[in-house]
Structure 1
Amino acid sequence: MSSLKPILLVEDNPRDLELTLAALEKCQLANDVIVARDGEEALSLLTHRDPGSGEFTLVPAVVLLDLKLPKVDGLEVLERMKGDPETRHVPIVMLTASREESDLVRSYQHGVNAFVVKPVNFRDFFQAIRDLGVFWAILNEPPVTTRRPPASTYAKGV
């Protein structure tokens, strides 16, 4: 397992999930990608603690978060993460098909770090995901935190 923080991808659309994973793989990031298929699963992953140490078992480099999700929508996931002192520092990119201005405004009001509309064109979508992966997993310098669980606690999901 890599000692790098993983990328948490929260996506319920099977086609978009497959394309996103392929694009991230193509840019050859060393980060593992953990997949949650709804907002409830994402929150469960982000709040799970190791019973022995009490440390979080997942502290991602970035969360790529779809807006329209089953069970718990992306805005609620965003609001809960940014409202919690333990997870507010984690960068969140809203990755959505929505072009509604109200979704954009509400996302930024709740503290999203970036709002990216999924391109319809396959090549543009692929390039956008590659660019996001490279920026957030390689180029971005995250804040220093004291919560750094051992790499062995990260579970790769697909």
Structure 2
Amino acid sequence: MLNIVLFEPEIPANTGNIGRTCVATGTRLHLIEPLGFRLNEKAIKRAGMDYWDDLDVTTYINYEDFLEKNPDAKIYMATTKAPYVYSDVKFEEDCYIMFGKESAGIPEEILVQNKENCMRIPMIGDIRSLNLGNSVAIVLYEALRQHQFAHMNTEGHLHRLNWE
């Protein structure tokens, strides 16, 4: 099982969407406080739809609390400051993929301590960043692809319509 970590997320709709993606993929969600919203807000429930109650989510009072409670975690950090591309990373089972808050990302002091595990999503020009929910989906699905989408439905079926 993979783990998504959001460092101090600020926008409830982003976190709700990410929560829904985590439910759809069997991924755990970890939220590092402070949050820019309350977990019982309508906006987070609306974005997560009726999936929020099925979400495996853990909150932490700060980054140090997260590290203390997950001492053996292999953590990859998504940042626009990284020299490596996310598709070059070989994601282990049970690894943690961290994303920073919408307005500032992961603090540089944390990135510097973990520079060998930092990765980026390629973009052109002066674009600062992608939407947090989109970034999580891009990287998470690459990690899932590397594990052959284990335990996921990989085939759909069309239902023939009777036009007569």
Q: After TM superposition, is the score higher than 0.5? A: no
Per the normalisation by structure 1, the TM-score is 0.43
In terms of Rg, which structure is larger? Answer: 2
TM normalised by structure 2 equals 0.42
